[in-house]
Structure 1
Amino acid sequence: IVGLDIGTSKIVALVAEVTPEGRLNVIGMGSQESKGLKKGVVVNIEETVATISRVLQEVELMADCKVRDVYTGIAGSHIRSFNSNGMVAIKDKEVTPMDVERVIETA
């Protein structure tokens, strides 16, 4: 499990594994001073992406693993959200990734 925090002052990533008891054991951490962000807003996407890449490389080395999926949060006064609903007909009894895409489009 990889968590990524993109902050104005620094970007941090943690890698943890789930123990048989269901607890998280942190096995790697990477941190870099943020570049390309000002007051929580991306002002230079290239610098921000480069910093995130360096942090993920750091954490991969420390944890001896390849990062594929990342959980991250987004914060800031400029972030807005809204609720929406969507509905589509499903041909078979199993929901496919295409069904999910279609329902998101209708929402």
Structure 2
Amino acid sequence: MIKATDRKLVVGLEIGTAKVAALVGEVLPDGMVNIIGVGSCPSRGMDKGGVNDLSQW
């Protein structure tokens, strides 16, 4: 394990009309990516690719 200050993290975020999903990965010294976290939840206030109700955010 690498010290926390030396870790290279990358995050992917997908905001869709049906759900919001996130993925966190750590770039290892050999260039590989180790997935360290994933999550998703239903979207609210989105319709046809746009925000239609800010009170839902």
- Determine if the TM-score, normalized by the shorter chain, exceeds 0.5: yes
Q: Moved runs in structure 1, 4+ residues, more than 3 A?
A: none
CA spacing shift, 1:41–1:25, aligned 2, 3 Å:
same
Higher strand share: 2
Aligned residues, how many?
48
Q: Which residue of 1 aligns with 2:19?
A: 10
Letter paired with 1:35: R
Shift of 1:40: 0.9
**Runs of 5+ in structure 2 lacking a partner?**
1-9
Provide TM-score, normalisation by structure 2.
0.74
Identity of aligned residues (%): 50
Q: Which residue of 1 aligns with 2:28?
A: 19
**Runs of 5+ in structure 1 lacking a partner?**
49-107
Larger Cα-atom Rg: 1
Higher helix share: 1
Residue 38 of structure 1 is aligned with which of 39, 42, 47?
47
Q: SS state of the match for residue 8, structure 1?
A: coil
Distance (Å, rounded) in 2 between the aligned partners of 1:34 and 1:20: 36
String of CA shifts for 1:49-88, please: whole Å, max 9, x gaps: xxxxxxxxxxxxxxxxxxxxxxxxxxxxxxxxxxxxxxxx
Provide TM-score, normalisation by structure 1.
0.42
Kindly report the root-mean-square deviation, in angstroms, between the aligned alpha carbons of the 2 structures.
1.1
